[in-house]
Chain A
Amino acid sequence: MKQNAQTPTGLDVYKIRQDFPIFSRKLKNGKPVAYLDSAATSQRPRQVVEAMEKYFFECNANIHRGVYQISEEATAAYESARQKVAKFINAQSSREIIFTRNATEAINLVAYTWGRQNISQGDLIVLTIMEHHSNIVPWQILAKEKGARIEYVDIDEKGYLRLDQYTNLLQQAPKLVSFTHVSNVLGTINPVKQMVKQAKEAGATVLVDAAQSAPHMAVDVQDIGCDFLAISGHKMLGPTGIGCLYGKRELLEQMPPFLGGGDMILKVTLNGASWNELPWKYEAGTPAIAEAIGLGAAIDYLNRIGMENIHAHEKMITEYALEALSEIDNLTIYGPPLSDRSGVISVTIPGVHPHDLATIVDRDGIALRAGHHCCMPLMDRLDIAATARISFYMYTIPEEIDRFVESLKKAKEIFEK
């Protein structure tokens, strides 16, 4: 067992963990969970749940149309959450923030509105091989409907995007370019700003999937320069059922609505309807009010800790884990070196299927993810069926990495004896 790494990052991780009741829980084996699956969903601090509880218990009402006090309070809380998101990603206006169910729905919203309006037969859509299914399948559906084609930017041996190939594809004047900021399998942090700049120069509309980046590092949409950006609430301490689409105002104004229904209209007659102004044009029906408020509280929490501190802590943990894993024989680590890697490490061991590994470490109370991580094209590219993936957050401690490494050794012994 290694000695505990100190956190030179100004972040008191042990104090932070006290905000997360789940870490005090004992599992069936009497141990606390070593939660190494934050890329799938983060844990939630007390403050987020309390903010949601406050809405339920103190001002539970539908929003926007009630003229009574608690409805006005609920509306204010919901809209204040939108402003927090806008500020968090430095959008020009909170009108550019649309609440969705998750990042997947945010991408689908663009595919079904902007995509249907702007993509035609023969048009090119550029994606990358490292995309999550949520940034592939909506475009495949659109491409099939419109007769458009899709090209995928490949990765190199280190897990970086092949930017030479990207540059070449841009010369074919794609209508849309959509890629992830951070790979949920390789941990690669893509050079988004440069990639967006190139795509814009080529005349493309650009979507950035920030589901894996916004929770872990400062994301500034004006600096990045993208047209759309998708965010997932539950990966950044918020509840499930809430995500956001950022869209440049002029684009959101031009696009047709997504779902039709209440709240997204200005006026409805038997012959038709006119649309509400932004952002409500894209929010049909009663939204996830408590969840939006919870996301707002999550953003408050992240701001209080500081995104720079979070990023630095995760980098320290990732370095610690990479070093510990490098001492294990016969282990393949995927993805780029530390300098360009987020807190995600995928590994495989010959002879030990990732699912068997996950089951064995589960008995030691370690929660990790084994499988294709919703990236089947990337698995095919790497010529593997699955990986075992550990992923970190601001609350991950070196002891959890130690527990994982010990358990991993045990799994190797079982299969290699």
Chain B
Amino acid sequence: MSDDLYREYILDHYKNPRNFGRLEHATISHEEGNPLCGDVVGIDILLDKDNNVADVKFHGRGCAISQASASILTEKIKGMNIEQVKAITKDDLLEELGIEVSATRLKCALLSLKVLKAGIYGISTWPDEEEE
């Protein structure tokens, strides 16, 4: 059975999430929920002295889109400098996911990025968030 949204790549990350768990000595730790469907994503980041992502873990529960997105995002940022992480846009993540999501499901797909940015900036919205 093939499905353009729930394709192998997404389902694989959903069923076998990468970097799943918690970091004990995280430099940045942040968690948020999506009230629409009760998705929760939390991300712990350990930065080294040069502000590179030495390690990253995520935890949470929710739909395949939100959890796969978190898994994919943690893979992407591992090793990156914090400035590069800050520069990741919504479109970057959506491109990485390789799926087209409807307006309601966009919140699921982007929850992990929201958590990441909010954790880094220490705010619940990040500078380039626009009205929907």
Q: Given A359-B5, A359-B105, A385-B61, A353–B37 Cβ distance below 8 Å?
A: yes
Other-chain contact of A356, B1, B61, B64, B102 (Cβ < 8 Å): B64
Chain A residues in 8 Å Cβ range of B37: 353-355, 370-372, 385-386
Q: How far is the CA of A183 from the CA of B17 in the complex (A)?
A: 36
- Considering only residues 1-41 of chain B, those with a C-beta below 8 Å from chain A are 1, 3, 5-6, 11, 36-39
Q: How far is the CA of A414 from the CA of B1 in the complex (A)?
A: 6
Other-chain contact of B105, A355, A371, A372, A414 (Cβ < 8 Å): A355
B94 within 8 A of A: no
Chain A residues in 8 Å Cβ range of B61: 385
> Which residue on chain B has the smallest CB distance to residue A413?
B1
> Which residue on chain B has the smallest CB distance to residue A384?
B38
Q: Is the CB of A414 within 8 A of B11?
A: yes
Q: Mark A113-142, 1 if CB is under 8 A from B, else 0.
A: 000000000000000000000000000000
Q: Is the CB of B38 within 8 A of A372?
A: yes
Q: Is the CB of B63 within 8 A of A360?
A: no
Q: How far is the CA of A198 from the CA of B11 in the complex (A)?
A: 52
Q: How far is the CB of B64 from chain A (nearest CB, A)?
A: 5
Q: Is the CB of A379 within 8 A of B38?
A: yes
Other-chain contact of B64, A353, A372, A379, A385 (Cβ < 8 Å): A353
Chain A residues in 8 Å Cβ range of B63: 353-356
A410 within 8 A of B: yes
Q: How far is the CA of A415 from the CA of B8 in the complex (A)?
A: 10
Q: Is the CB of B38 within 8 A of A356?
A: no
Q: How far is the CA of A353 from the CA of B39 in the complex (A)?
A: 10
Q: How far is the CB of A292 from chain B (nearest CB, A)?
A: 31
Q: Is the CB of B38 within 8 A of A414?
A: no
Main secondary structure of the interface of B (DSSP, over half): loop
Chain B residues in 8 Å Cβ range of A363: 3
> Which residue on chain B has the smallest CB distance to residue A362?
B102
Q: Mark B85-120, 1 if CB is under 8 A from A, else 0.
A: 000000000000000001001001000000000000
Interface size on B, residues (CB 8 A): 17
Q: How far is the CA of A360 from the CA of B105 in the complex (A)?
A: 12
Q: Is the CB of A371 within 8 A of B36?
A: yes
- Considering only residues 56-70 of chain B, those with a C-beta below 8 Å from chain A are 61-65
> Which residue on chain B has the smallest CB distance to residue A352?
B64
Q: Is the CB of A356 within 8 A of B36?
A: no
Q: How far is the CA of A356 from the CA of B36 in the complex (A)?
A: 13
Q: How far is the CA of A353 from the CA of B3 in the complex (A)?
A: 16
Q: How far is the CA of A264 from the CA of B51 in the complex (A)?
A: 64
Q: How far is the CB of B66 from chain A (nearest CB, A)?
A: 8
Of A355, A359, A372, A386, chain B has the most CB atoms within 10 Å of the CB of A355
Q: How far is the CB of B97 from chain A (nearest CB, A)?
A: 14
Q: How far is the CA of A321 from the CA of B61 in the complex (A)?
A: 29
Chain B residues in 8 Å Cβ range of A360: 3, 5-6
Q: How far is the CA of A417 from the CA of B11 in the complex (A)?
A: 10
Chain A residues in 8 Å Cβ range of B108: 355
- Considering only residues 369-394 of chain A, those with a C-beta below 8 Å from chain B are 370-372, 379, 385-386
Q: Which residues of A are in contact with B by a Cβ distance under 8 Å?
A: 353-356, 359-360, 362-363, 370-372, 379, 385-386, 410, 413-415, 417
Which A-B residue pairs are the 4 nearest by beta carbons? Answer: A385-B38, A353-B63, A355-B63, A355-B37
Could you write out 24 A-B pairs with CB less than 8 Å apart?
Answer: A353-B37, A353-B62, A355-B37, A355-B39, A355-B63, A355-B65, A356-B6, A356-B65, A359-B5, A359-B65, A360-B5, A360-B6, A362-B102, A370-B37, A371-B37, A371-B38, A372-B38, A385-B37, A385-B39, A385-B61, A410-B1, A413-B1, A414-B3, A415-B64
Known: A354-B63, A414-B11. 10 other contacts (CB 8 A): A353-B64, A355-B37, A355-B105, A356-B64, A356-B65, A371-B36, A410-B1, A415-B6, A415-B11, A417-B1
